[in-house]
């Protein structure tokens, strides 16, 4: 079949703009698709964190870091791991959440949630409460 155009193009035909999406660059890190929703950088390896169906995951195939949308910590305070929450956590290390609700007591509260990463590349969340303004006479 030599000489016939079978519809396939060689990667060299596209120069630097490969249409195939993710490809290996030799470092084990996959490059983002042109239409990927890059949320931030991985706190473990520095690669892109990309929004996927079930979470916000590191594009580095060797890295295990991810923020899952179905997250028990956030469910316990009546919140969801949204793109906006993931963006704040990845880019600032903390996110302010208003109108949280304790499953145990039913009480509503506002808090900050801080992100840390353990030695096994797993995210950990910690709640901080805003400083209350002291009333006169206290």
- Each of the 138 residues of the chain gets a pLDDT tens digit; together they read 444 444 333 444 434 443 334 444 444 445 555 567 899 999 999 999 999 999 999 999 899 899 999 999 999 999 999 999 999 999 999 999 999 998 888 899 999 999 999 988 899 999 999 887 766 665
Beta carbons of 81 and 67 less than 8 angstroms apart: yes
Who's near 103: CB < 8 A, 6+ residues apart?
Answer: 75, 76, 77, 78
How far apart (Å, rounded) are the C-alpha atoms in residues 112 and 104?
A: 19
How far apart (Å, rounded) are the C-alpha atoms in residues 23 and 6?
A: 23
Q: Sheet harboring 94-101: ordered strands across?
A: 94-101, 108-117, 123-128
């Amino acid at each position: 079949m030599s000489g016939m155009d079978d519809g396939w193009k060689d990667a060299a035909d596209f120069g630097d703009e490969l249409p195939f999406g993710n490809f290996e660059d030799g470092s084990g890190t996959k490059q983002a698709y042109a239409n990927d929703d890059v949320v931030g950088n991985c706190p473990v390896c520095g690669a892109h964190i990309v929004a996927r169906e079930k979470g916000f995951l590191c594009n580095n195939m060797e890295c295990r870091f991810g923020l899952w949308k179905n997250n028990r910590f956030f469910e316990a305070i009546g919140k969801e791991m949204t793109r906006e929450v993931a963006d704040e956590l990845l880019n600032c290390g903390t996110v302010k959440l208003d109108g949280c609700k304790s499953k145990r007591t039913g009480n509503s509260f506002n808090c900050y949630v801080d992100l840390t990463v353990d030695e096994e590349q797993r995210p950990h969340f910690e709640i901080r409460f805003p400083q209350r303004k002291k009333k006169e006479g206290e």
